[in-house]
C-alpha cells in the first residue's frame, strides 16, 4: 500500500467515552490526548511530544494554529499544553453553537486548510475574544477565513483533503 499501514480501531459508539477514541489533537510537533479514552490502535501510531489531558475531546477542545500553538477554552488542555512548552491562547468558553448542547468547542469549529490559514465554520462576530483570536493568528503568521457568513458552529471536526 505504498508505505501505509492499516489498523483496526475498537468499535466506536454514540456515547462518551466510546465516541472519543479518535479525538487526538496533533499539531505536528505535539500530540494532545486523553490516555483513558484514546483508542489503543491510535496509541500505537502516536508521534510527537505527548501532552496528556483529562479532556476526552482533546481535538475538539483545541484549534490548531501551528506546530506549537493552539487556541482553547479548556483550562485543563491549556494548562497541560503550556507545561509542555506550547503557546496557548485562552478564550472564553461558549459562543460557539452545537446543536443539542449548551455550546460547542473551537477545535470542532475550525480546521487548518493550509499551513498558514485557519478556517472557521462561521464568523466570530459574536465571540468576545474575536480580536484576540485574530491578533494571536497574525502573531503566528496565520490568516483566517470564514466558511459561512453565519455565526461559528461546532461540526465535531474536519480535515482538509
What's the CATH code of the domain at 40? 3.75.10.10
Average of per-residue pLDDT across 36-49 = 87
Set of cell numbers at residue 16: 462518551
Q: What is the pLDDT of residues 79-123, one digit of tens each?
A: 999 999 999 999 999 999 999 999 999 999 999 999 999 999 999
Q: What is the mean pLDDT of residues 41-55?
A: 90
Q: Is 64 helix (H, G, I), strand (E, B) or coil?
A: strand
* Beta carbons of 107 and 160 less than 8 angstroms apart: no
Q: pTM (2 decimals)? A: 0.93
Give the number of domains in the chain: 1
Among residues 48, 14, 51, 15, which one has the least CA distance to residue 34?
51
**Preceding peptide of 19 cis, ω within 30°:** no
pLDDT at 2 over 70: no
Query: What are the grid coordinates assigned to 126, written together?
Result: 459574536
The confidence score (pLDDT) of residue 133 equals: 98
pLDDT on residue 21: 84
pLDDT at residue 144, as a whole number = 98
Please report whether residue 43 resides in a domain.
Answer: yes
Residue 61 has what DSSP assignment?
A: H
Residue 149, SS3 per DSSP: coil
The residue that leads in pLDDT, 6 or 135, is 135
Please check the confidence at residue 160 and state whether its pLDDT lies above 90: no
151 assigned to some structural domain: no
Segments in 3-90 forming alpha helices (H): 40-43, 58-61, 75-83
**69-72 and 62-66: which strand pairing?**
antiparallel
Tell me the residue range of the domain where 77 lies. 25-146
Q: Is residue 156 part of a domain?
A: no
pLDDT, residue 157, reads: 86
Strand order in the sheet with 87-90: 62-66, 69-72, 87-90
Q: Which helix (H) or strand (E) holds 156?
A: none
SS (HEC) of 75-137: HHHHHHHHHCCCEEEECCCCCCECCCCCCCCCHHHEEEEECCEEEECCECCCCCCHHHHHHHH
- Cβ-based burial of 8 (10 A; exposed 0-12, middle 13-18, buried ≥19): exposed
Domain-located, residue 114: yes
pLDDT recorded at residue 128: 98
Amino acid at each position: 500500500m505504498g508505505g501505509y499501514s492499516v489498523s483496526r480501531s475498537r468499535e466506536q459508539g454514540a456515547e462518551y467515552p466510546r465516541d472519543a477514541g479518535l479525538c487526538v489533537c496533533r499539531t505536528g510537533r505535539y500530540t494532545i490526548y486523553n490516555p483513558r479514552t484514546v483508542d489503543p490502535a491510535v496509541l500505537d501510531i502516536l508521534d510527537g511530544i505527548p501532552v496528556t489531558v483529562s479532556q476526552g475531546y482533546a481535538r475538539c477542545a483545541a484549534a490548531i494554529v501551528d506546530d506549537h500553538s493552539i487556541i482553547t477554552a479548556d483550562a485543563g488542555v491549556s494548562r497541560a499544553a503550556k507545561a509542555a512548552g506550547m503557546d496557548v491562547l485562552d478564550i472564553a468558553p461558549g459562543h460557539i453553537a452545537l446543536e443539542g448542547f449548551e455550546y460547542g468547542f473551537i477545535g470542532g469549529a475550525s480546521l487548518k486548510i493550509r499551513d498558514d490559514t485557519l478556517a472557521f465554520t462561521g464568523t466570530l462576530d459574536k465571540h468576545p475574544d474575536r480580536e484576540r483570536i485574530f491578533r494571536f493568528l497574525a502573531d503566528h503568521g496565520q490568516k483566517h477565513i470564514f466558511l459561512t457568513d453565519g455565526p461559528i458552529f461546532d461540526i465535531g471536526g474536519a480535515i482538509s483533503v
